Structure 1
Amino acid sequence: MARNNDPFREMDRWLNTVLRQAPGTNATIMPMDLYRQGESFLAKLDLPGVDPSSIDIDVEDRTLTIRAERRVEQGEGLQWLSRERPTGAFARQLTLGTGVALDRIDASYRDGVLTLTIPVAEEAKPRKIQVSHEGSPATIEQDHSE
């Protein structure tokens, strides 16, 4: 029985865990779920407390970049007792494959969750190919007029 051994998988998992927990890293701000549903990929990113007007999404080549900002609350007489929620500008990038329709990506923001709908490109969708055949034998007629 063959085993698929990826020596980098464990290191990648460990590094992702460390980055999510390290203070001051942007990875803690934008956790993401990514899945395929039907003919689209969906990415759901947690962005609680982010002003929707600060969200900026662009695609260059096959890299999708998401930028957002959570501003620091300021006010007269404000005295911080605990400040655990990260603030500031942050970004996340996704490398998209060739089988997606870059021109039809849709984004919506609701209840602190940014949802990106990334449709599968028409040329990447599975399809049936009709097989044509000649089902009946050809009839050959002879000319008996000689």
Structure 2
Amino acid sequence: MLRFDPFSDIDALTRGLLTNQAGSNRSPRFMPMDLYKVDDHYVLTADLPGVDPGSIDVNVDNGTLTLTAHRSARSEESVQWLASERFFGTYRRQLSLGEGIDTTGINATYENGVLTVTIPMSERAKPRRITVSHTGNERSIEPTTVEAD
């Protein structure tokens, strides 16, 4: 007896469209990252184990921060693979930067397989205390009585 499940084909197609970037099953799926704010800047950390530091590119264009990195596949032809689960290929992640970011002050470091990008806020976007001034013409309001008719 054959079973036909029309939804399994749709599920497989949807999974393929949503999870697979261009390339084979060995292509990187995503670049896991954390983003948090400390004082007057943001810090982005992204896991990129085994990536050649020379292949990492951090680019800002028109309010979009783009992180790109590449991990090469092993090209040893005489190897008999018993398991091959690590992804290779190009990783790419884009983030839209909001108003108030100092794009000229962005810097990045790569250490122990982790890319760290520091994104400073611009001076105009930093919180600041505004002093309230007052004039010397202080008047008190005198109570008045209204007589009832």
TM-score, normalization: structure 1? 0.73
In the TM superposition, residue 27 of structure 1 has moved relative to its aligned partner by 3.7
The percent of aligned pairs where both chains have the same amino acid is 47
Which residue does 1:66 correspond to in 2? 67
In the TM superposition, residue 134 of structure 1 has moved relative to its aligned partner by 2.6
Aligned mates of 2:90, 2:76 — CA distance in 1: 20
Give the counterpart letter for 2:98 in structure 1.
G
Query: Structure 1 pair 84/96, CA: closer, same or farther in 2 (3 Å)?
Result: same
Which residue does 2:57 correspond to in 1? 56
Give the counterpart letter for 1:124 in structure 2.
A
Of the structure 1 ranges 32-41 and 68-77, higher mean CA displacement relative to structure 2 is found in 68-77
CA contact (8 A) 2:68 2:93 kept: yes
SS at match of 1:57: strand
Alignment map for 1:65-144 (pairs within 5 Å): 65-75=66-76, 77-135=78-136
Query: Structure 1 pair 87/31, CA: closer, same or farther in 2 (3 Å)?
Result: same
Which residue does 2:146 correspond to in 1? none
Aligned mates of 1:135, 1:109 — CA distance in 2: 58
**Gap runs ≥5 in structure 2:** 1-14, 139-149
Query: Structure 1 pair 26/74, CA: closer, same or farther in 2 (3 Å)?
Result: closer
In the TM superposition, residue 73 of structure 1 has moved relative to its aligned partner by 1.3
In the TM superposition, residue 120 of structure 1 has moved relative to its aligned partner by 1.0
| Larger-gyration structure (1/2) | 2
In the TM superposition, residue 135 of structure 1 has moved relative to its aligned partner by 3.6
Aligned mates of 1:25, 1:135 — CA distance in 2: 71
Which residue does 1:3 correspond to in 2? none
In the TM superposition, residue 102 of structure 1 has moved relative to its aligned partner by 0.8
In the TM superposition, residue 116 of structure 1 has moved relative to its aligned partner by 0.5
Give the number of aligned pairs: 118
CA contact (8 A) 1:19 1:25 kept: no
RMSD: 2.1
SS at match of 2:110: strand
CA contact (8 A) 2:43 2:119 kept: yes
Aligned mates of 1:51, 1:25 — CA distance in 2: 16
Aligned mates of 1:46, 1:91 — CA distance in 2: 12
In the TM superposition, residue 19 of structure 1 has moved relative to its aligned partner by 3.8
